C-alpha cells in the first residue's frame, strides 16, 4: 500500500462522513412553526389560532363575559403583535326559540 492509496482511502472516508453529516443536517433543519387550529379556553376566554395565508397566522381571543372578539396578527416590519379587528358579538346573537314542552308520559 503506497501513499496514494492511503490518501485516496482517507479522502473517500472523509467524503462519506461529510455527505452523511449534510444529509442529517438537511433532514433535521428547523421548519417554520405554524400553530394552525390550536384552541384553549380558561374562564370566560376562548383563544384560538387561524391561518391567514401561507406565512401568517392570526390569534383570535373571545371574551364571553364582555361578548367581544379581538383578532391579533404579527406586523413583520414593526416586529410586534397588533390588534387587527375588534368585533362586538352581542348584536350577532340569535334569539333562541322557546323549547317545546316535554311530552307527558
Q: What are the pLDDT digits (tens) for 48-104?
A: 988 888 778 889 999 988 889 999 998 888 889 999 999 998 887 776 666 777 777
Helix residue ranges, H only, 1-105: 3-27
Give the alpha-carbon dihedral of 31, 36, 41, 44, to 10 degrees.
Answer: 130
pLDDT tens, residue by residue, 2-28: 888 899 999 999 999 999 999 988 888
Q: What angle do CA 60, 65, 70 make, to 5 degrees?
A: 20
Task: Report the distance separating Cα 89 and Cα 63, nearest Å.
Answer: 9
Which three three-digit cell numbers place residue 99?
323549547
Amino acid at each position: 500500500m503506497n501513499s496514494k492509496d492511503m490518501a485516496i482511502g482517507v479522502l473517500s472516508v472523509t467524503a462519506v462522513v461529510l455527505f452523511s453529516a449534510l444529509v442529517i443536517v438537511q433532514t433535521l433543519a428547523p421548519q417554520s412553526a405554524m400553530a394552525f387550529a390550536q384552541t384553549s379556553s380558561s374562564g370566560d376566554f376562548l383563544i384560538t389560532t387561524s391561518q391567514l395565508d401561507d406565512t401568517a397566522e392570526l390569534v383570535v381571543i373571545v371574551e364571553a363575559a364582555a361578548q367581544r372578539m379581538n383578532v391579533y396578527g404579527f406586523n413583520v416590519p414593526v416586529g410586534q403583535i397588533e390588534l387587527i379587528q375588534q368585533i362586538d358579538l352581542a348584536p350577532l346573537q340569535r334569539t333562541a326559540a322557546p323549547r317545546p314542552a316535554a311530552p307527558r308520559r
